[in-house]
Structure 1
Amino acid sequence: MANLKPGRDAPLSGQYEIVGPRGGRTGDERTAIRGRTLPPTPKSGQGYVPVDPTRNGAGRDNKR
């Protein structure tokens, strides 16, 4: 999935890794809830990529 910018709504609930402006991984992750705003990143130009979607109670991935 593309690099998501802070301040936009999260498309899925789950863990998002912070990546650099050219896509380099930082190893830092944040938890986000679908439809809620992604938090600010520590440095300018960074963004998010989803790494671990949350599974709901029915055992299905949260893909809505």
Structure 2
Amino acid sequence: MAKKLTPGTPAPESGQYKVPGSKTEVTAVKGKPLPPTPKAGQGYKLVDPTKHKPKGK
């Protein structure tokens, strides 16, 4: 299982991140900080990574 990412942590990859046990889902960009969670002590888990097409193909 992937480790829980805390708010303010730079997203390791672009995609949809979910707060486990809630309906909260956010879109994050690789390298940008994850937003605050609804409640203290919560974190994010990557649920749907972005699928990139290589440039020039």
> How does the TM-score come out when normalised to structure 1?
0.77
Structure 1 position 57, deviation (Å): 1.9
* Match of residue 46 from structure 1: 42
* Match of residue 11 from structure 2: 10
2:53 is aligned with 1:57: yes
Structure 2 unaligned segments of length 5 or more: list them: none
Equivalenced residue count is 53
Task: Extract structure 1 runs of 4+ deviating beyond 6 A.
Answer: none
Structure 1 unaligned segments of length 5 or more: list them: 20-24, 59-64
The structure whose residues are more often strand, as a share, is 1
> How does the TM-score come out when normalised to structure 2?
0.86
Q: Distance in 2 between matches of 1:51 and 1:33?
A: 14
Structure of larger gyration radius: 2
Percent of matched pairs sharing the same residue: 51
